[in-house]
Amino acid sequence: MSNRLKDKITIITGAARGIGAKSAELFANEGASVAIWDVNVERGKETARQIQANGGVALFCECDVTDAAQIKTAVARVTSELGNPNVLFNNAGIAVVGELEEISEEDWDRQYAVNVKSIYLVSRAIIPLMREAGGGSIINMASESAYVGFPMHPAYTSSKAAVVHLSRSMAVRYAEDNIRVNSLCPGTINTELYQEFLSQQPDPEAINKEIKEMHPLGIGEPEDIAWAAVYLASDESRYMTGAPMLVEGGILSL
Ligand SMILES: NC(=O)c1ccc[n+]([C@@H]2O[C@H](COP(=O)([O-])OP(=O)(O)OC[C@H]3O[C@@H](n4cnc5c(N)ncnc54)[C@H](O)[C@@H]3O)[C@@H](O)[C@H]2O)c1
């Protein structure tokens, strides 16, 4: 344990598993108190339990980040049990797979609700509290696919491009409140989300090989992204706002 995030009261959405869960673990190791918001109750509680067992401070809140009423309840729990948040990591996301002509309107809307609208809903609930706390850091989860077109993911890729630009607009607006807003753009990361995507492919091994070869450094691990989030949450990044932070194994340098 070190103290890079000492006194940081942090909310991480979608932290029951994957990149969010690894971030919750590293944030707690760096001294942050971590609120884990997720719809996956069993895994969310387990992630919180593991952090507590290692001596960290963690609180699980069941929360669907597309639902303003659930957000309100979760915010009330965080403020009463941990205090006013000064770090928000909007990490929750889903990936709708399907070409433009195949995706249903329902799936398109769901993609945007979870990946983009949730950032608006959660941020508008948290920003007044951050302002009261004297400032803070918001990290919005985007993706390499904000920059690279993938024909099978038009809803996902465009939603992540929206996250990058939403973050810029938020950064410019809230600098005067000492609230920094950056987006994080991972390459392909080996999580259950990625494994689920592979399992839906006719030849998962071939697709995995193809994706690996698209990235000069291959496929990443959750901690590769979680460490970047630690930096963005910490005061070490105090002069950084509005920036898309690329941690994408070199794909954008090809
Ligand atoms: N894995 C990758 O290759 C990759 C690459 C770039 C960006 N990302 C992004 O990183 C984030 C995390 O991805 P991951 O791979 O860890 O995925 P994951 O599926 O393992 O984890 C996502 C978590 O979000 C939660 N979640 C989904 N909808 C929610 C909702 N409405 N309310 C609250 N929680 C919800 C899920 O229950 C899950 O625990 C996502 O935004 C994803 O788009 C992932």
Is residue 226's pLDDT more than 90?
yes
Q: How confident is the model at residue 2 (pLDDT cuts 50, 70, 90)?
A: confident
What is the domain extent for residue 125?
A: 9-186+222-238
Mean pLDDT value across residues 150-174: 97
Q: Does residue 56 belong to any structural domain of this protein?
A: yes
| Alpha-carbon gap, residue 1 to 4, rounded angstroms | 9
| Residues 6 or more apart in contact with residue 238 via CB below 8 angstroms | 180
Q: Does residue 173 belong to any structural domain of this protein?
A: yes
Averaged pLDDT score across all residues of the chain: 98
Q: Does residue 132 belong to any structural domain of this protein?
A: yes
Please tell me the total count of domains within the chain: 1
Q: What's the CATH number where 18 sits?
A: 3.40.50.720
Q: Does residue 202 belong to any structural domain of this protein?
A: no
Environment class of residue 124 by beta-carbon count within 10 Å: exposed (0-12), middle (13-18) or buried (19+)? Answer: exposed
CB of 191 closer than 6 angstroms to any ligand 1 atom: yes
CB of 231 closer than 6 angstroms to any ligand 1 atom: no
Catalytic residues, by residue number, are: 156
Q: Does residue 85 belong to any structural domain of this protein?
A: yes
- Strand pairing partners for 180? 137
Is residue 30's pLDDT more than 80?
yes
Q: Does residue 2 belong to any structural domain of this protein?
A: no
pLDDT in tens, 47-73: 999 999 999 999 999 999 999 999 999
Cα 64 to chain centroid, rounded: 14
Q: Does residue 68 belong to any structural domain of this protein?
A: yes
| Alpha-carbon gap, residue 12 to 6, rounded angstroms | 16
Burial 30-46 (b: 16+ CB within 10 A, else e): bbbbbbbbbbbeebbbb
CB of 150 closer than 6 angstroms to any ligand 1 atom: no
pLDDT in tens, 101-123: 999 999 999 999 999 999 999 99
Q: Does residue 250 belong to any structural domain of this protein?
A: no
- pTM reported for the whole predicted model: 0.99
Distance from the alpha carbon of residue 91 to the mean position of ligand 1, in angstroms: 6
Mean pLDDT value across residues 162-175: 98
Is residue 1's pLDDT more than 90?
no
